[in-house]
Copies of this chain bind each other. A is one copy, B any other.
Amino acid sequence: MKFSPLVQELIESFRCLPGVGAKTAQRMAFHLLERNRQGGAKLAETMAKAMEQVGHCQQCRNFTEQTLCDICESPRRQHAEQLCIVESPADVIAIEQTGEFQGRYFILMGHLSPIDGIGPEDLGLDLLEAQLQQGGIKEVILATNPTVEGEATAHFIAEMAKSFEVNLSRIAHGVPVGGELEYVDGNTLSHALSGRKSYQV
C-alpha cells in the first residue's frame, strides 16, 4: 500500500533537496497539497524557470540569468585592481554587506575535494588563470573558508597565481569580534597570536 501515484512521485521528487529525507518529503508534499497549493504552484513555476535560465556569469562565475552579473557589469568595478576569490555566492553577499571591498570577485562554486571528484577544472581555475593572464589585476585576495579544504584550495590557487605579477593575500585568521577568548579553539588562538598587530594609542 502506497499513496496515489502522483502523490508518491511528488514525495520522491522532494528528496532531491538537500537534507530532506522520507518523512520531511512527505510533510512538505502534504503541507503544499493541503494548505498552500498557490505557493506550491508558484514554487514549481519559479523552479522550472530558474533551472532553465539561471547560468553562470562569464567573468566571475556567480549565478545570474544574464551574461554578466550585476557586480561584473558595474562600471565602477570593471577596472578594479583587486580580485577576491570566494567559495560561494553567499560569501559574495556577506563581503558586500561589509561595504569594505570595491573590487571584483571570482566564485569557485565549491572547493577542491579529491574525495568527491572535485578538481581544479570544476572550480573554473582555467577561467581564473585566463583572467590573470589578461592583466589588470594587482592583488588577489584569497577568501576561501578557513577549513582544511578551503586552505588547500587557497594554497593551490596561490601556487598557480605566483607566475603572474600579482600580490597575493589571505583574509586574516584570528578571534572573532564579540567572542570570548575562553571559548576560542587553540588553533585560532595561535593564529591570533602570531598575527598580532602593533597597538596604536
Contacts from A to B (Cβ < 8 Å)? 1-7, 9-10, 13-14, 16-19, 24, 26-34, 36-37, 39-54, 62-66, 69-71, 88-90, 92-93, 96-97, 109-110
Q: Which residues of B contact A50 (CB under 8 A)?
A: 6-7, 9-10, 29, 32-33, 40
Q: Which residues of B contact A70 (CB under 8 A)?
A: 4
Q: Which of A14, A30, A47, A96 has the most CB of B within 10 A?
A: A47
Shortest distance from the beta carbon of A85 to any chain B beta carbon, whole Å: 17
A5 lies within 8 A of B88 (CB): no
Shortest distance from the beta carbon of A48 to any chain B beta carbon, whole Å: 4
With the chains together, A48 CA to B37 CA distance in Å? 9
A52 lies within 8 A of B41 (CB): yes
